Amino acid sequence: MPPRGARARPRRRGQPKDEGARIAAAIAPNVLNRKFTAERPNQKWIADFTYVWTAEGWLYVAAVIDLFPRRVVGWSMSTFAGIARRSVRKRAGSIPYNVLKARQK
């Protein structure tokens, strides 16, 4: 025990740094209009992007979900935000649905 009860104060973890303001052209239009059902596979996809604090630092996670089976069709994790997003776009667009369905069984 350190003298006089002195102890380390844990460092506060802040949110990841924001890159700045968004331009209006960067925001996608709302084409689903809250209709989250699909009649067949590969008709409607949604995506989400988030970050998680880990012991090694911030981990960025991105996923694409097909609304027909409500299953993840592509996902990526990275320590850099832009890499995770680009990777999901590339994966989701390059994997045929029947291959994904076979993988999930």
Q: By residue range, what is the domain housing residue 92?
A: 41-105
pLDDT at residue number 32: 86
* 7 is a domain residue: no
- Residue at 5 is within a domain: no
Q: Is residue 58 part of a domain?
A: yes
Number of domains in the chain: 1
Residue 26, in any domain of the structure = no
pTM, two decimal places:
0.58
Q: Is residue 93 part of a domain?
A: yes
How many C-beta atoms lie closer than 10 Å to residue 102's C-beta? 9
Sorting pLDDT into bands at 50, 70 and 90, what band is 2? low
| Long-range contacts of 33-40, Cβ-Cβ distance < 8 Å, separation of 24 or more | 36/67, 37/67, 38/66, 38/67, 38/68, 39/68, 40/68
Instruction: Choose the weakest-confidence range: 4-8, 34-38, 79-83.
Output: 4-8
Q: Is 1 within the bounds of a domain?
A: no
What are 4's two structure tokens?
Answer: 């006089």
- In the predicted model, what is the mean pLDDT of residues 57-78? 87
| Residue among 25, 26, 43 nearest 35 (CA) | 43
Q: Would you say residue 14 lies in a domain? A: no
